[in-house]
Structure 1
């Protein structure tokens, strides 16, 4: 498996980074949202949450997830750790579209919980606000079914050049 990953990273590096791979896939008519959603479904946590990518554009991503008994804490509100995971995925997906490297990791993530998430489905909108060579800063907001902002976050991603 290590050799396979190394080969993939070499191809991504040759193409000028993940952002160019995504752009080329879109140019070729490949449904990148479908591919990413299939990858998300392979992770048990994201399956539990029921999160899906709705759209992905250069520097932005929009995700959706349902109100579900599986992700609640007492008093019928979505668990803060679940919210953090969705935010991480959303900003990380937006970062993919500007990533000139072969991979990325979350370096820092700060969240303000403004309102309890009680009325879904919930939409998470993320965007890149600054893309450097090594660090990318993004932000995200989660809205409830009434389009009320419930969560605001900002984070930094480290770009792995390979």
Structure 2
């Protein structure tokens, strides 16, 4: 049995709905709700640029606080960026239901260095089933170089 101390996506959905009722665009409402309610999203300083059913795109700006000693963005941070944007793309297919990451498969292609900043992280759903959602996530540098690609699977929990 999976226990969750807080239904984070339901809370984000409620907060985003509240902000949209005040005139926020959907991506700004979700971005603000994620920043307020999801500490990992806040740490990475992602900025959601767009969201539509089955798609999400965010901006990531290089930060020395998130690097390896060689100055490249840490692989765990890259995985986190992929997880966050892939989750938003997956979540956009069903909104308020709960979900958890089941699997991530990442190919790190190039180091994420300051010279490539800002980076775009784009997720798109390739399969949305009754219980699982599969996404493809790509990270590109400002020079349009693909630095990482990943597939991820999210499991929708029943309420």
TM-score by length of 2: 0.81
Matches within 5 A, 1:133-144: 133-144=130-141
How many aligned positions are there?
Answer: 146
Matches within 5 A, 1:116-131: 116-118=111-113, 119-131=116-128
Whether the 8 Å contact between 1:120 and 1:144 is mirrored in structure 2 is: yes
Distance 1:152 1:72 in 2: 19
Distance 1:29 1:102 in 2: 24
Matches within 5 A, 1:2-151: 30-42=24-36, 43-99=38-94, 102-118=97-113, 119-151=116-148
- Larger-gyration structure (1/2): 1
Distance 1:145 1:51 in 2: 15
TM-score by length of 1: 0.79
Q: Deviations over 1:66-89 (max 9, x none)?
A: 011111112110011111111001
Q: 1:101 to 1:36 in 2, by over 3 A?
A: closer
